[in-house]
Amino acid sequence: MKSFSKFKEHESRSKEEAPEPIQETAVVERYSPLGFGLKQFQLDEAPLGPVSYDGDDEAFALEIASKLDDGISSINAAIELDNRRDKTNGAKIGVFAIMPDNLRTKWSALANQIIEDSDDLESATIPDGRKEKDVSVKHKDMDRYVYINCRPDGKRSKAGDDPNELMTAALCLKNSLTAPKTVEEMDELIKFVQLNLSKVKGAKQSQIDSLEGDYVNLCSAVSAALTIHKNKYGNADMVYLTGQAWDQDVKQFQITKYGMKDFNSSDFIIKKGSSFLGVSLKKKQLYSQKDPTLINKSFSTLFQDSKFNKMMAELDKRAAQFYLRVLVVAKQKKIASPKLLADMEKTRPNAKNWKKFIQRIPNDLVNSQLKGNKSLFRSMSMIILKNKELMANQLIQLIFKADLKDLKKVNFDFTLVTGIGDYGPRKGVDVKTGEYKDIDTVSTKLNEIVKNEKITIRETPGAVQAFSEGATAATLKFDLMIGKLPVCHIELRYKGNFRSAPSFTAIMTDEFKSLYK
């Protein structure tokens, strides 16, 4: 591979060359509501495509919730049936989507956009008090609807709705910014945010209500904002939070690609003059803490291109063999419910219908079967390594989002920023230097190290894999490699729904991060 920038040559096609209706790439003239001319790059691919319903309501409910989650790359939700009393009845099927509390609004907003874009789905009833946090969806051929309760994973912010994005974005409006050293100086920064909300679009009232006294979030917000100021995007004219919706001023930059509704994963966008900066914001309290994930996507969603058809067919075959064996084990150990046993007696599980039954098996049994020598993950690992170069070239494009570099032609830049800071009565104010990785730097660094090197995948040296003796977790661990340099640590695991393919998560390696210093 000679140049990272040529991974997707088809994106250079002109409007005249693109087929109708436009599915992938088109460039159309559009005038911004901000008053200057620009070209909008539409890089849209439907996250779902056609959605079929086979008459099995519960199976469909899990499937559609998982597919919605797959279309949201920046959030990892665990999907489960909601078995609470009255949550599933003659009118609806209840499902949980479990995630961090502060991400529920963003997840539901993106899920509703995906539903709106689908020809087969429509939104259904949601109580007034839940409209921002839950999702209700109905298939056109279905009598009942699916009600998805976006449930917090228990790690709630003590201050309520997390104001970190609001704080960071608003601090980019300041003419200059220095790190606070006292509580009094932090209170002044919070007051600045409160007095400049007219220049912050998309802030929720619950975020505004959480500003007072949230010094922990403020420390990481200052860390992130300082590095944005350093890169010349301080003293901004306006900032736009994207968690609930993309404001019309910046909606032209919202991109759906590779099955991701949020391929442009900006948490907020800064406008300064005629330029825009999209910021994907992460936070942590210490340098030593594990970095946030760069991607969190279903195996099947990542590899939709026809060149992966043979590989995916082999994976489907192995998955069917494995889960049919799990159903037999459940029957032998008398773990399966009488109703499930009766249904399996009536309709024998096979390679085409096993998904209708597997989600009714207790998760503990499935997880135990996923560990050890007979694990499905052994087959998956063999198939991944067999197709390692093909998969690696796809993953490096998806993880580092090089396609967003095209938006520089319309004055839009993109960066991944991690704010690092903490506060405590004893330790006081602790604002560390944040991390800033813009799309140009990422592409340049990748091009520098790619040259004539192969992009490939290896098993992480020394890692205990799901199929290894003594495995305690149902996971696979790999490294995404450019030559001999590991650039990402990749983990493959299920998100709670065994009907769907497991998901990839990725974090940047210390070796690759060191190239920025």
For every residue of 102-156, DSSP letters joined together read GGHHHHHHHHHHHHHH-SSEEE----GGGTTT-EEEEETT-SSEEEEEEEE-S--
Is the pLDDT at 50 greater than 90? The verdict is no
Highest mean pLDDT out of 66-80, 105-119, 278-292, 350-364 = 105-119
pLDDT of residue 229: 98
* Interatomic CA distance for residues 72 and 107, integer angstroms: 7
Compute the mean pLDDT over every residue in the chain, rounded to the nearest whole number. Answer: 84
Does some domain include residue 34? Answer: yes
Q: What is the mean pLDDT of residues 65-77?
A: 83
Pick from 17, 118, 25, 111: nearest CA to 73: 111
Bigger pLDDT: 405 vs 157? 405
Q: What is the mean pLDDT of residues 485-498?
A: 86
pLDDT of residue 99: 86
Structural domains in the chain (count): 4
Does some domain include residue 430? Answer: no
pLDDT of residue 47: 66
Bigger pLDDT: 448 vs 142? 142
Does some domain include residue 417? Answer: no
Beta carbons within 10 angstroms of residue 111's beta carbon: 28
Same domain, 407 and 274: no
Same domain, 178 and 110: no
Same domain, 21 and 65: no
pLDDT of residue 154: 62
Same domain, 252 and 335: no
pLDDT of residue 131: 85
Domain final position from 155, 177, 195: 155
pLDDT of residue 45: 53
Question: Residue 282, CB half-sphere, CA atoms under 13 Å: how many?
Answer: 22
pLDDT of residue 160: 53
Q: What is the mean pLDDT of residues 466-478?
A: 92
pLDDT of residue 18: 37
Q: What is the mean pLDDT of residues 459-473?
A: 93
Pairing between strand 135-139 and 145-152? Answer: antiparallel
The end-to-end CA distance of the chain, in Å, is 26
Tokens of 349: 């599980």
Is the pLDDT at 8 greater than 70? The verdict is no
Same domain, 83 and 124: yes
Bigger pLDDT: 30 vs 163? 163
Same domain, 8 and 69: no
* Interatomic CA distance for residues 239 and 278, integer angstroms: 10
* Interatomic CA distance for residues 360 and 325, integer angstroms: 14
Q: What is the mean pLDDT of residues 287-310?
A: 80
Is the pLDDT at 77 greater than 90? The verdict is no
The length of the chain is 517
Does some domain include residue 191? Answer: yes
Question: Under a CB-based contact definition with an 8 Å cutoff, are residues 435 and 420 in contact?
Answer: yes
Same domain, 364 and 510: yes
Whole-number percent of the chain with pLDDT over 70: 88
Q: What is the mean pLDDT of residues 13-27?
A: 36
CATH of the domain at 65: 3.30.460
Tokens of 336: 């399966």
Give the pLDDT band of residue 19 (cuts 50, 70, 90).
very low
Q: What is the mean pLDDT of residues 222-243?
A: 97
Same domain, 164 and 214: yes
Q: What is the mean pLDDT of residues 303-332?
A: 91
Does some domain include residue 420? Answer: no
Same domain, 74 and 85: yes
Same domain, 472 and 354: yes
Range of the domain at 83: 57-155
Does some domain include residue 304? Answer: yes
Burial (Cβ within 10 Å: 0-12, 13-18, ≥19) of residue 91: exposed
Does some domain include residue 451? Answer: yes
| C-alpha of 409 from chain center | 26
Give the CA distances from residue 244 to residues 144, 241, 342, in Å, rounded to whole numbers and listed in that order: 27, 8, 45
pLDDT per residue as tens digits for the range 241-296: 998 889 999 999 998 877 778 888 899 999 999 999 999 999 998 888 887 788 77
Same domain, 396 and 489: yes
pLDDT of residue 135: 96
pLDDT of residue 295: 79
Is the pLDDT at 396 greater than 70? The verdict is yes
Bigger pLDDT: 40 vs 318? 318
Does some domain include residue 401? Answer: yes
Same domain, 399 and 496: yes
